[in-house]
Structure 1
Amino acid sequence: MANNVDIKDVQATLAQYQGDKYVDGWASLWDKGGKLPWDKGFPNPALEDLLVQQRGTIGGPIALDAQGQPHRRKALVPGCGRGVDVLLLASFGYDAYGLEYSASAVDECKKEEAENRNSYHVRDETVGRGKVMFVQGDFFDNAWLQTMGVSLNGFDIIYDYTFFCALDPALRPKWALRHVQLLAPSPLGNLICLEFPRHKDPLAPGPPYPSSSEAYMEHLSYPGEEIPYNEGIVKHEPLRGPSKAGLERVAYWTPKRTHEIGQGENGVVHDRVSIWRRRD
C-alpha cells in the first residue's frame, strides 16, 4: 500500500472541488492510493459496544415481516471507507451495505473483505452472518439503491461516522434530508451517529469539519433547511418547534471506548453517540 495521506494534502485536494463536485475530490484521493488520516484499519469500538449493549434500542438483526416470516434487517454505511464497519455489522447478523463514490474505494472494500472477513467472527451462531455488499454511487443519487435492490426508506440501520464531518457544511441540509429518505419508519429505522470531531475549533478548516452535537441536532431536526451558523457555531432558535419531517434523537451518550482520534488529553472521550428515528 502507498504511504499514509497527510490531512493537509486531503484538504488541499478537496479545496479544488466545490459544492456537489466534492465527490470527485474524494475519488481523486482514493485513486492516488494511500491510507486516509482517519482510517484506523478496524471499526470504532464505540460501534461494537453499541451493537452489544443497545440491542434493546436498535433491535436485533432478525425481524418478522407482515406475514410473520423472519428476515434480516438491512444496515447501510455511507462513505464506508475500506468497509470495516460493514464487515462488523454483518458479523452481528445484519445484511450490511457499504457505499462509496470511488471505484477504487469499492475495490479496497472488496479486498478488505477477502483478506479479513474471518477476523470478524459471527457473534451469534443461531443468527449467523449477514450478507455483505459494496456498491459505488453518490449518496444523494438513487441509482445505487437499484444496484443494492433496496427501496427508499428501506434501511433499518444507518451508521454515520466520518461522513457528516467529511462533507462541506454547505451540504449538511441535503445530508439530513437524505437520511429521512433512506431510513425505515420508526421504530424499526435507527440512524446511529458517532459524532466526531466535537472538540475541534469551530473555525478550523476541514475535512474533518468541526461537528458539534448541536449541529447534528439542528440539521436532523430540520432536514433540508438551511441552519444558521455564527463563527462556525450553530445558532439555535429556541422558540421553533421540531419539524414533523425531521428526526428525533432517542438516545445520546458518551461512549466508554472510541478511536484515539476522538479523545483528548488523558484519554478523555470527546466523541458522542446519538440514535435518531423518524418522527412519523
Structure 2
Amino acid sequence: MTRNSNLPPNFLSDHMAKFSGEAYIEGWAGLWNNKGEDERLPWDRGCHSAALEDVLQEKKELVGEAFLTEVPHKSNCRKRALVPGCGTGYDVLLLASFGYDTYGLDYSHVAIETAKKEAAKNADQYAMRDPGVGRGKVVFVQGDFFKDEWLEKLGLGQNSFDLIYDYTFFCALQPYLRPAWALRHRQLLTPPPVGNLICLEWPTTKDPTLRGPPYAAPSHAYLEHLTHPGEETRYQCDGKIEIDPSRKPNDMALERVLHWKPGRTYEIGKDGKTGEVLDRLSIWRRRN
C-alpha cells in the first residue's frame, strides 16, 4: 500500500472528528479539496483490489458473467456495476475490464475528476480481459450515495445495479449511518437471481473502542446490518454490537450466500507480524 508518509498517524481521525451529523460527508470532501497534486490520501491503496479480481475470475458460478445471461430476453445486455465511494477509481476500471458497465460514485467533485484522470492514464493497464466479452463503459458520477439525484443524472432508478462492490465505505461511515447504508444497498441491487453485493470486510480485528474512521468492521457487523436494513442495531458503550439471538431478519433483509477468507488482499488487510489475511469477503443477495 502507498500512502503519504508526511501525514500524522491520527490525521484522518482528528480531521473527521470535526464533522458530525449531516456535515460528516463534507469532511470527506474537504480532504479531497485540500489534497496536494501528488499526495495520496490515507485510504488510497494505489491499485485495484486483488481480492475483487479473484472473485470475478474464480466465483463466476455465483456472480455470473458480465452479460445478463440469467435473463433470457436481456442476455445481450451488459450488467451494471457500482462502486460507491470510488475515490481514485481503480476498482471501477477493474470491473470494466471484465466487461461490466461500471459506475464510480463519490461525493467529492475533486475525487471524480481525479478518477477520470487516472482512467485516462491507466487505459492500457485496464484493457479488456476477454475479447469475446469486451470492455464495459466507465462512468464517474458525483453524488450522495443516500440520495437519488445521481441516479436521476444517469437516467437510472433504484434496483439498477447487478453488482455492487463495497470496500472502505462501510468502515468509513459513522456507525449510526449503517442502517441507512444497508437499506440503500437493498434499494440499489437488482432482484435475484442477478444482483450481488460484494463486501471486502476491513478492518475486521480493530478494537471497537478506538476512534474511526476507519471504524471497526467485524464480519458480524455486516451480518447484523445487512439482515436488518434500515433497522437500528444496538451498539454497547465499548463499541461492540449487542447481538440478540432471537432477532429475525426483517422484510428487506439481504442473504449472505458466501463468506470466506480471500487468498489475496492489500497488505493493510493482513497481520503485520505473521502475514495472515485478516480481511474477509462476503457476497449478498436480496431475498426477494
TM-score bracket relative to the smaller structure: over 0.9
Higher relative helix content: 1
2 CA distance for matches of 1:192 and 1:78?
12
Aligned counterpart in structure 2 of residue 238 of structure 1, from 237, 245, 253: 245
Tell me the equivalent position of 2:125: 119
RMSD of Structure 2 on Structure 1 (CA): 1.5
Tell me the equivalent position of 1:21: 23
The alignment status of 1:8 with 2:10, answered yes or no, reads yes
2 CA distance for matches of 1:61 and 1:12?
41
Aligned counterpart in structure 2 of residue 43 of structure 1, from 37, 41, 48: 48
Structure 1 residue 68: Cα displacement: 4.8
The alignment status of 1:167 with 2:173, answered yes or no, reads yes
Structure 1: gaps of 5 or more residues = none
Tell me how many residue pairs correspond in the alignment.
280
Moved more, 266-275 or 145-154: 145-154
Query: Residue 166 of structure 2 aligns to which amino acid in structure 1?
Result: D
* Correspondence 1:98-113 to 2 at 5 A: 98-113=104-119
The alignment status of 1:270 with 2:278, answered yes or no, reads yes
2 CA distance for matches of 1:222 and 1:197?
21
Structure 1 residue 148: Cα displacement: 2.0
Tell me the equivalent position of 1:52: 57
Contact 2:4 2:41 in 1 (8 A): no
Tell me the equivalent position of 1:95: 101
Contact 2:82 2:103 in 1 (8 A): yes
The alignment status of 1:82 with 2:85, answered yes or no, reads no
Aligned counterpart in structure 2 of residue 252 of structure 1, from 256, 259, 269: 259
What secondary structure, in the 3-state scheme, does the structure 1 residue paired with 2:171 have? helix
Change (3 A) 1:207 1:7: farther
2 CA distance for matches of 1:260 and 1:156?
29
Query: Residue 44 of structure 2 aligns to which amino acid in structure 1?
Result: D
Structure 1 residue 202: Cα displacement: 1.2
2 CA distance for matches of 1:86 and 1:37?
19
What secondary structure, in the 3-state scheme, does the structure 2 residue paired with 1:70 have? coil
Structure 1 residue 274: Cα displacement: 0.2
2 CA distance for matches of 1:271 and 1:82?
21
**TM-score normalised by structure 2 residue count:** 0.94
**TM-score normalised by structure 1 residue count:** 0.96
1 CA distance for matches of 2:128 and 2:78?
15
The sequence identity of aligned pairs, in percent, is: 53
Query: Residue 237 of structure 1 aligns to which amino acid in structure 2?
Result: D
Structure 1 residue 63: Cα displacement: 1.2
The alignment status of 1:226 with 2:243, answered yes or no, reads no
2 CA distance for matches of 1:259 and 1:105?
21
Q: Can you list the C-alpha shifts for 1:185-215, whole angstroms capped at 9, x where unaligned?
A: 0121100000000011111111111001010
Tell me the equivalent position of 2:203: 197
